[in-house]
Amino acid sequence: MLNGVGDISKSITSEPMTTEPAIGAMTGLRVIDLTRVLGGPYCTQILADHGADVIKVEPPAGDEVRDWGPPFHEEDAAYFVGINRNKRSIGLDLASEGGRAVLLKLLEGADVLIENFKPGTLDKWGIGNDALRAKFPKLVHCRISGFGADGPRGGNPGYDAIIQAMTGMIAATGSRESGPMRIGVPLVDITTGLYAAIGILMALSERQRSGLGQFLETTLYETGLAIMHPHAANYFMHGKPPGLTGNEHPNLVPYAIFATRTDNIFIGVGNDGTFRKLAKEIGKPELGTDPRFARNKDRIANREALRAELAAVFCEHEAEPLCNRLLAAGLPAGPVQKIDQALTNAHSVHRGDVIEKDWYKGVASPIRLERSKPSLRRTPPKFSQHTHEVLAEFGYSNSEIDALLAEGAACGPTRKR
């Protein structure tokens, strides 16, 4: 029973992403994607997985992450492949008048424009937000930037690791032994893409009421600050920056890695009742009533003593059976797995968390709606693969397309190096 509504797993079937054509929640939405690298492409892949027609407009040199390898598939790096499925690619030189004219033609049928140019670039080309708003009043225009257009750092470029450094993440990550450490995934870029997707959906929802599009912006810098929880909240409360606690939590104990006889496990206890239950489950019920550990604030004050008690128990067990038993009892425990183990374990396989089509393999969309299924319709595109197809859809004749290619306003399949 869950909140009096029964077992939801039996009332709602969570089906994995399909490789068959499907009507997704974003079907009918057209997105013109001028973004490169990570945050923007991550955002538009979310929309594309759920049915949006995403036209990826690349500069003559292409999206630079096509080169961020090895490994490669036919000269496209895994870094590019992992965030650009379900899109069509067209190469345009937006620095040229002809390229901008094509972009404006594409925008005639678009719902969303997303770009990550340096603030002011589109204005310089005469296609800034004011010009777009006058011409396309229903268009939702999303910009991703490092710091925004104004302020002391307005217009500065943004990079994930630099923002991690500037917003306190690196200073809060690592142990006393390691010193400050960069988080091992591009968390700021990815979360900025998530915020951009949320903002786009908000703007589209508001458009249903007002009939108008609007400009929205997500910046790496504000994203970095926004996800610094609980460190920012703690600082506002007690005025102290976080120390380096390694894998442990500043506000909760036990919340850390422990060694077992086979592999490491992670234990994360969120309240006193859960701790007492854990103590009982591992055969040490007296720990749950020990005055040193009875409440979370007591466990924080006696962190090292509790660690020693738990370590002595866990080292007598094997990781997988122990975690399975604790999880089955409703306790927060998990084996510390490498990515190959995470992608191939029985639960990932059962849930369909890896999706395949032709040569492509990737992680399926984690957004699973009851009726509107995400789908893998297209493998990640080669550079400018769909230029003829897209331009023809927008009314260009073969001779007009050839002329655009000849003048360099549109691009053929070869990137300009």
The most distant pair of C-alpha atoms in the chain lies apart, rounded to whole Å, by: 83
* pLDDT exceeds cutoff 80 at 7: no
Reference 46, options 57, 61, 35; nearest CA is 35
Q: How large is the average pLDDT for residues 252-268? A: 96
DSSP label of 106: H
* pLDDT exceeds cutoff 90 at 3: no
Q: How large is the average pLDDT for residues 235-246? A: 92
- 413, 393 Cβ separation under 8 angstroms: no
- Where b means 16+ CB within 10 Å and e means fewer, 333-366 reads bebbeeeeeeeeeeeeeeeebebeeeebebebbe
* pLDDT exceeds cutoff 50 at 2: no
196 token code pair: 């951009």
Q: How large is the average pLDDT for residues 213-219? A: 98
The pLDDT score that the predictor gives to residue 417 is: 82
- d(CA 20, CA 22) in angstroms, rounded, equals 6
pTM attached to this predicted model: 0.92
Calculate the CA 154 to chain-centre distance. 24
* pLDDT exceeds cutoff 60 at 12: no
- d(CA 26, CA 50) in angstroms, rounded, equals 5
DSSP result, 12-68: S--PPPBSS----TTTT-EEEE---TTHHHHHHHHHHHTT-EEEEEE-TT--GGGGS
* pLDDT exceeds cutoff 70 at 13: no
In terms of C-beta density within 10 A (0-12 exposed, 13-18 middle, 19 or more buried), how is residue 264 classed? middle
Least confident of 10-19, 126-135, 276-285, 302-311: 10-19
DSSP label of 138: T
- d(CA 31, CA 111) in angstroms, rounded, equals 6
DSSP result, 186-236: -HHHHHHHHHHHHHHHHHHHHHHHHS---EEEEEHHHHHHHT-TTHHHHHH
Q: How large is the average pLDDT for residues 214-227? A: 98
State the chain's mean pLDDT as an integer: 94
Q: Which domains does the chain have, with CATH numbers?
A: 9-228+357-407 (3.40.50.10540), 255-344 (3.30.1540.10)
* pLDDT exceeds cutoff 60 at 222: yes
* pLDDT exceeds cutoff 60 at 255: yes
Could you tell me if residue 365 is left (phi over 0), alpha (psi between -120 and 50 degrees) or otherwise beta? beta
Type of residue found at 401: I
In terms of C-beta density within 10 A (0-12 exposed, 13-18 middle, 19 or more buried), how is residue 49 classed? buried
- d(CA 331, CA 324) in angstroms, rounded, equals 10
Bridge partners of 266, per DSSP, are: 257, 334
* pLDDT exceeds cutoff 60 at 166: yes
Q: Tell me which of 63, 189, 340, 358 is the catalytic residue.
A: 189
The pLDDT score that the predictor gives to residue 4 is: 37
The pLDDT score that the predictor gives to residue 124 is: 95
- d(CA 42, CA 198) in angstroms, rounded, equals 12
The pLDDT score that the predictor gives to residue 21 is: 78
Reference 27, options 138, 121, 111; nearest CA is 111
Q: How large is the average pLDDT for residues 60-70? A: 97
125 token code pair: 């080309």
The pLDDT score that the predictor gives to residue 373 is: 92
Per-residue pLDDT tens digits for 359-382: 999 999 999 999 999 999 999 999
Q: Which residues, in sequence order, are CB contacts of 233 under 8 Å at separation 6+?
A: none
Q: How large is the average pLDDT for residues 150-163? A: 95
- d(CA 18, CA 352) in angstroms, rounded, equals 9
Reference 196, options 39, 363, 24, 367; nearest CA is 39
The answer to whether 189 is a known catalytic residue is: yes
| pLDDT band with cut points at 50, 70 and 90 for residue 5 | very low
* pLDDT exceeds cutoff 60 at 224: yes
